[in-house]
């Protein structure tokens, strides 16, 4: 990515973080950034491609934050809760964009190709490694990763709709306690031990 494009993308992400995404047009965004809509079009091609680049940039930053938390916090469950709090802090701004563009990825829109695979499998693989490190059996780690991802995405969706942060935080904390208890027992209920 060119330096000019990267710099512009960083400004776009910061602008969306401050003002929200909504149905912002390229012209409105350009005016807010002090540039032209032609410059945005030159670097990104379309509003959809720009939003895709924003989502990819935000997703990469999220991966970096999770890695930093896992390196800094010994307890993976506490690191997971810290990561949840971080995601919830930005849910009102980025969750609508995330879910809107995830729908485009589900439909196979061409501009989603660069990050569609990550949305489908990347978080599952990263979370499965986390559960393996926490002591889960390999076959069970993948299932725990998918359940955890579904839980986080569902709570982010609910939080973005309702704005009820205390309820979302309480649900995530309860979920983490259930996961911890399951791993402490050595597997899911009814599993051979």
pLDDT tens figures, 87-125: 999 888 888 888 888 888 888 888 788 778 878 787 888
The pLDDT value given to residue 192: 54
Residue ranges and CATH numbers for the domains of the chain are 1-45 (1.10.10.60), 55-185 (1.10.357)
Q: What is the pLDDT of residues 126-180, one digit of tens each?
A: 888 888 888 889 989 999 999 999 999 999 999 999 999 999 999 999 999 999 9
**Which pTM does this prediction carry?**
0.82
Q: Cα separations (Å) of 43 from 7, 25, 46, 50, 176? A: 11, 15, 9, 8, 42
Q: What is the mean pLDDT of residues 21-38?
A: 92
Evaluate whether 156 touches 95 at the Cβ level (below 8 Å).
yes
User: Which of 178, 158, 190 minimizes the C-alpha distance to 80?
Assistant: 178
Q: How far apart are CA 36 and CA 42, in angstroms?
A: 10
Q: Quick one: residue 121, left, alpha or beta (phi over 0 = left, psi -120 to 50 = alpha)?
A: alpha
Burial of 99 (C-beta count, 10 Å sphere; 0-12/13-18/19+): middle
Evaluate whether 83 touches 66 at the Cβ level (below 8 Å).
yes
């Amino acid at each position: 990515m060119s330096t000019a494009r990267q710099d512009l993308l960083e400004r776009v992400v910061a602008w969306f973080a401050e003002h929200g995404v909504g149905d912002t047009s390229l012209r409105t965004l350009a005016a807010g950034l002090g540039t032209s809509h032609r410059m945005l079009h030159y670097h990104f091609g379309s509003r959809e491609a720009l939003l895709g680049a924003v989502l990819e940039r935000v997703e990469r930053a999220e991966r970096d934050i999770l890695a930093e938390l896992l390196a800094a916090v010994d307890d993976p469950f506490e690191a997971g809760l810290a990561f949840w709090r971080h995601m919830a802090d930005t849910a009102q701004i980025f969750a609508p964009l995330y879910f809107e563009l995830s729908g485009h990825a589900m439909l196979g829109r061409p501009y989603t190709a660069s990050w569609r695979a990550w949305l489908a499998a990347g978080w599952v693989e990263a979370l499965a490694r986390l559960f393996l490190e926490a002591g889960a059996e390999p076959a069970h780690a993948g299932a725990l990763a998918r359940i955890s991802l579904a839980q986080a995405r569902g709570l982010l969706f609910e939080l973005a709709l309702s704005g009820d942060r205390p309820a979302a935080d309480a649900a995530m904390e309860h979920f983490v306690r259930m996961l911890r208890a399951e791993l402490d027992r050595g597997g899911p209920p009814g599993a051979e031990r």
